[in-house]
Each structure stands twice: as C-alpha cells, then as structure tokens.
C-alpha cells in the first residue's frame, strides 16, 4: 500500500510540473552535484537499547525541473540521490554490537524559489523551501530486517544563479535536507533495517554544499502592469 501511494504521488507530481512546463514561457533544467556532510544519529530503541551512528558524508547528485513565474519566483520538482555508509553501534547492558549498513537516500521534493532582483540580471540570488518524500534503502539488512522506508521530507536552501548566456549558467547553493516522521524529525534504523524501532527523538538532518549546471529555455513572464 505504501509503495502504491508513493508511486501515485510521484506520478501526480510529474504530471503537474510537466503540464506547467508545457505552457511556460521560461523553464530550467538544473543538473545538481553536491557534497553532503556527516550527520550523527543518537536514539533509544523500543526495546530499551541505545543506538548511535553516523550517516557518512558523500557525493549527492540530482536533477530539477523549474518553471519560472514573473522573473522573481520559481516552482521546482527535484530528485536527489546519495549512496553512503551508515556505521552503527547498538549498546546494551551486556555488550555493544557494531554494524555498517550500505544506505541509498533518495529525495523527491517540490517547492518554490524566491529570486532577489538585481541590476545585473546575470546574477540571481535566491532562497527556497521544498516538501516531499525521502526513500531510504538498506542494501544489506540482516534476515527479517526492513530494507526500505518512505518518509515525509523537507528541504531549505539559499544560493545564487550565475548566467553566462540566456540559456546556460551555474547555480551555487547551501542546502539542508531532513527525513521526518513528525514535526520532531526522524530516521529509522532498528536492530535490523532502516525503518524499525527508533523513536521520534532520533533525527536526520543533512547539510550539503554544491551547485548545478543550468540549462534555461524561453523567457519569463512579465509582471502585470496597469
């Protein structure tokens, strides 16, 4: 059921963004590359054991489709992926247990960007917020362990576009991404898999620095004037 909901939501998001792009006067294809830094995870398992681990920093790639509204606003659908290792230590009164998981982290996000107009139109500072889904896949779960988890996710970022021509530029940005269960935020890695056992006190916040190659088409819509 969860996979069906996820697939349906993803399909609706893509149809929405492509419908907008088909009638847009300007849209961008953003090819992302960034480095995501280490993030520590500490939490108490449901069985009373304690867990601590680190989602190792690694390369993240992605692609975004952005529809530009009236020069100052953009709506973007973005996919990001990171392959990394998650070394974990489970503690108990008897002995500690160490294990390293190979984890794939996928973000599917949609949201808005607000651009700050400057006299030099080739430089476009921006900030943005995005909402969507995070799909965590454990490539080597133990027998009986969960192999995947789909959670609500959000992202916030600031940066700037630098256009070398009307059609080509680069984007430099700093970005914070989080996979959450509720307002508190959480990632789930129980005694077996990615998605079992940890309470909502656990957190996953990924900070990254990077950029994108921008391929731009068309012209933005002008602001309405009387």
Give the Cβ contact number of residue 114 at 10 Å: 12
pLDDT digits (tens, 9 = 90+) for 33-44: 999 999 887 776
**Total length of the chain:** 226
* Confidence (pLDDT) at 182: 45
Bridge partners of 84, per DSSP, are 103
- Segments making up each domain of the chain, as ranges: 2-218
Q: Check pLDDT > 80 for residue 129.
A: yes
Burial of residue 116, with CB atoms counted within 10 A of its CB: 0-12 exposed, 13-18 middle, 19 or more buried:
exposed
Q: Is the pTM of this model over 0.85?
A: no
Write out pLDDT tens, residues 37-81. Answer: 998 877 766 566 677 888 899 999 999 999 988 778 999 999 999
Residues 35 and 210: beta-carbon distance below 8 Å: yes
pLDDT at 86 over 70: yes
Q: What CATH number was assigned to the domain covering residues 2-218? A: 2.40.160.20
Q: Is the pLDDT of residue 184 over 80?
A: no
Give the span between the Cα atoms of 164 and 176, in whole angstroms.
27
Element (H, E) at 166: none
């Amino acid at each position: 059921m969860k996979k069906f909901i996820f697939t349906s939501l993803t399909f609706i998001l893509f149809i929405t963004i492509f419908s907008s792009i088909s009638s847009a006067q300007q849209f961008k294809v953003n090819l992302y590359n960034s480095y995501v830094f280490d993030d520590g995870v500490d939490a108490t398992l449901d069985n009373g054991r304690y867990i601590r681990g680190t989602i190792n920093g690694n390369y993240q790639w992605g692609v975004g489709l952005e529809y530009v509204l009236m020069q100052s606003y953009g709506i973007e659908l973005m996919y990001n992926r990171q392959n990394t290792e998650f070394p974990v230590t489970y503690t108990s009164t008897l002995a500690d247990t160490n294990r390293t998981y190979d984890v794939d982290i996928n973000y599917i996000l949609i949201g808005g960007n607000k651009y700050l107009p400057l006299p030099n139109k080739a430089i476009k500072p921006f900030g943005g917020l995005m909402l969507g889904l995070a799909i965590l896949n454990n490539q080597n779960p133990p027998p009986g362990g969960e192999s995947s988890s789909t959670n609500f996710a959000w992202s916030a970022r600031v940066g700037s576009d630098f256009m070398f021509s009307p059609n080509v530029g680069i984007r430099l940005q700093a970005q914070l991404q989080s996979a959450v269960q509720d307002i508190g935020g959480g990632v789930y890695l129980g005694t077996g898999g990615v998605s079992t056992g940890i309470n909502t006190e656990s957190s996953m916040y990924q900070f990254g620095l990077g950029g994108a190659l921008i391929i731009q088409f068309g012209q933005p819509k002008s602001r309405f004037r009387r």
